[in-house]
Structures are given as C-alpha cells and as structure tokens.
Chain A
Amino acid sequence: ELKVEQNPLFLSMQEGKNYTIYCNYSTTSDRLYWYRQDPGKSLESLFVLLSNGAVKQEGRLMASLDTKARLSTLHITAAVHDLSATYFCAVDMYSGYALNFGKGTSLLVTP
C-alpha cells in the first residue's frame, strides 16, 4: 500500500524566514503533486513534478523531486502571511489512477 508522509504536520514561522516541508512516499511513483488548501476551501494546484530531479518555482515556493529517495520538498523563501494555509503533497501511483495524499502541513506565518 502506498503511504505518503509529510513533515512537519504543523509549522509556525516568522515572516521573512525560510523553511522546507518534506514529503516521503513508500513506492515507485509516476508523479508528485503539491496543493494548497485554505480553511474551508478546495485544493489549489501548485506544482506537478514529473521526473527525477524536477524543480519548479512559483514566487516564494519551490518544489523538487528525488524519485530515487522517494522524496519531494517544498521550500518556502522569505515567508509572508499570505502563505498561511495547509499544503498537501500527493502521489499518483499509476498514470491517471488516483492521488494518494499526505496528511498535510498546516503552515502559519506570523509577523
């Protein structure tokens, strides 16, 4: 059974600081997704990582994928309050099959 583990599950950080969220998964996978979810809202797609060594950046967020280590990271640079949300990674075990989500990392950015 595919397991997806995120850490930390909760993260409080000050504005301007950098931090990394880790996503480990247990079996070989096709693709790795990162989503953002605001309270009471649906999931917003952030990144889709398709191959070993893939790196994508959007604003203050950068995601990377190491398929050999079965590890993805979401790096936050110079955090701002607007980044406060829950971030999920998800793994697509078979192409188009289903996403298996981690439990999410709840991020709070404080002044």
Chain B
Amino acid sequence: DTGVSQDPRHKITKRGQNVTFRCDPISEHNRLYWYRQTLGQGPEFLTYFQNEAQLEKSRLLSDRFSAERPKGSFSTLEIQRTEQGDSAMYLCASRSLRGSGNTIYFGEGSWLTVV
C-alpha cells in the first residue's frame, strides 16, 4: 500500500498562469477528494469523485477550477488564470467503499504559490 501520492509537491507560478496537480489515490479506493488548506486553517472541501463521476463540488470551486478523474483512478485538479488568493496547499484524499471504508487517507499535498 503506497499511500496517496500527489505531484508536484511544490509549484510557484506567476499570476494568470494555469497550473495542474495530479493525485494518485490508494489502489482500488473508489472515492477521491480534493481539499484546499491555507495557513492556520483547517482543510476546506473542494470536490469529490466516486470512481470517475464527480458527485459534488463546493461553492469554493470557482469556474477557474476544474477536476477530472477520467478512468476512475488518478485525478487532476487544474486552476486556470491563477490569482494570488489561490496560494494554498491542495490536498488529495481517498477512501474505500469496501468493508468499513471509514478511514480517509490524505496525500502529502501540493503547495501552490502564486506570485
């Protein structure tokens, strides 16, 4: 079990550029979540997938944000026309629906700095 993997771990970008983050969940985990965390705050829910279907999006997810999970395995989160307020850590998490499926496992996060 290799855990939830995120890439890149750190990204510095200029305002107005597009960035994409990738998440590889734990193998065979059906549900995949994206969260955003800023300094001194708890993670905030952005969106989640069950297999390839995106089932819920937070109102925090503006139209500049898009997430995909094309084959129900890895997921990408793209931010278009980045703004300084997008600077945060983007966390991916996954869980299994098999058995109790209670624990949600988080990746190491992708730090975004918009300059």
B50 at the interface (CB under 8 A from A): yes
Inter-chain contact B108/A42, CB cutoff 8 Å: yes
Contact with B along A28-49 (1 / 0, CB 8 A): 0001010100000111110010
Contact with A along B84-115 (1 / 0, CB 8 A): 00000001000101000111111111000000
Inter-chain contact B42/A101, CB cutoff 8 Å: yes
**A residues apposed to B, CB below 8 Å:** 4, 31, 33, 35, 41-45, 48, 50, 88, 90, 96-104
Inter-chain contact B42/A88, CB cutoff 8 Å: yes
Contact with A along B62-92 (1 / 0, CB 8 A): 0000000000000000000000000000010
Asked whether A42 and B103 contact (CB < 8 A) given A99-B45, A101-B44, the answer is: no
B31 at the interface (CB under 8 A from A): yes
Asked whether A31 and B102 contact (CB < 8 A) given A96-B95, A98-B56, A104-B42, the answer is: yes
Inter-chain contact B43/A101, CB cutoff 8 Å: yes
Contact of A96 among B40, B44, B50, B103 (CB under 8 A): B50
Residues of A within 8 A of B33 (CB): 98-99
Complex: A97 Cα to B104 Cα, angstroms: 11
Inter-chain contact A96/B31, CB cutoff 8 Å: yes
With an 8 Å Cβ cutoff, the count of chain B residues facing the other chain is 25
13 further A-B contacts with Cβ under 8 Å, apart from A43-B91, A97-B48, are: A35-B106, A42-B91, A45-B104, A48-B102, A48-B103, A96-B95, A96-B97, A98-B45, A98-B48, A99-B33, A99-B45, A101-B42, A101-B43
Question: What's the least CB distance linking B105 to chain A, in Å?
Answer: 7
Inter-chain contact A99/B104, CB cutoff 8 Å: yes
Inter-chain contact A41/B104, CB cutoff 8 Å: no
Complex: A31 Cα to B40 Cα, angstroms: 24
Query: What are 8 A-B contacts with C-beta separation under 8 Å?
Result: A41-B109, A45-B103, A45-B105, A48-B102, A48-B103, A99-B33, A99-B45, A101-B44
Question: What's the least CB distance linking A60 to chain B, in Å?
Answer: 21
Inter-chain contact B42/A42, CB cutoff 8 Å: no
